[in-house]
Amino acid sequence: MAVLSRVLRLRVAGVDRFAVRSFRSSSSSWRNSEIDPKAAAASQQLGEKALPLQRDVKDRNVQWVFLGCPGVGKGTYASKLSTLLGVPHIATGDLVRDELSSSGPLAKQLEEVVNQGKLVSDEIIINLLSKRLEASSAKGETGFILDGFPRTIRQAEILEGVTEIDLVINLKLREEALLAKCLGRRICSECGGNYNVASIDIKAEEGDPGMYMAPLLPPPLCTSKLISRSDDTEEVVKRRLRIYNEMSQPVEEFYRSRGKLLEFDLPGGIPESWPKLLRALNLEDHDDKESAAA
C-alpha cells in the first residue's frame, strides 16, 4: 500500500501512472496484475520500487469500496466488515475530521468547506488518503475497505489507475430516514464514540414497506457528553444529499459498467440489515451467530 499511496499523489500531479491489467473477480478466478514498463521506469527515477500494485488474491485481502449518501451507515457496515475480514477500514470523512482537529495547515480551509456543506477537493482527499495508506503499510496491513472515496469520476479513475477494486457496495436508504439519521448523529466529546438518538418509525403506505430503525444510544457514562457535528444541520444535510445525488450517478455507472457494483437497499436498522448484507456478500459472521444463540 506504500506504493499505492505514493502513486495516488503522483497521478494527481500528472506523472505517468502504473498500468494495471484489468481483471474480473469471482469466487474462483483471478488474474495477476502487471506494471507498465514505462511507468516502472518513471517510478524508479522518482525513487519508487518497481513493485506490482496487485498481487494474487491468495497474497492479499479484499479491496472494497462503500458508496452511499451521507448518513446512510457506510461507516457502521464498513467497520463491521473490517473487523470480520481483518482489513483496515479507511473512512475519508474521519480523515477530514482528524485533520480539522489537528490544527494543521489544511484545518482552516477544510473547516470552511465542511461548514458550507461542500465536497472537499480531490487533491486534499487524495493527500489525506495517501498518508493513511502509508500508515497502514507501515503496520503491515494489506487490503482495505474504503468509505467515502471515490466520490467523483476523476477519483474513481485515479483509484482504478493504481489498484484493482474487487467490489463496490452501494448502500441505499429512503431520504426521509437519511435526513432523520443525519440530524440524530451524536459524538461523545470524551471517548469519541458515535451514536444516534433518532428513533425512525416509518409506517407502510401505498405499497411502500414500513421501516423501523432503533436509536443507537450511548452508555450512561457518555450520555451527558454528547455533541452534534457542526455540519449536521438540516440545511447543510439537505445540501449534502443534493450534491451527493448529483455526483453519485456517474460514479455508480462507472462501477456498474465494470460489473463491480452491488446495490443494497437497507431494510431497517443493523439487526435487520446486517444479516441480509452478509448473505448478499456470501459471508458469515460466526461471532454474531454465537451471540444470537447465547
- The residues annotated as belonging to the active site are 74, 151, 185, 229, 240
Alpha-carbon distances, residue 240 vs 15, 133, 160, 234, 250 (angstroms): 32, 26, 25, 10, 17
**What CA–CA distance (Å, rounded) separates 81 from 283?**
10
- Only one residue has cell 444541520, namely 233
Which residues, other chains included, contact 272 with Cβ-Cβ below 8 Å and sequence gap of 6+? none
- Cβ(226)–Cβ(188) below 8 Å: yes
Q: Work out whether strand 194-196 and strand 185-188 pair parallel, antiparallel, or are unpaired.
A: antiparallel
- Cβ(25)–Cβ(166) below 8 Å: yes
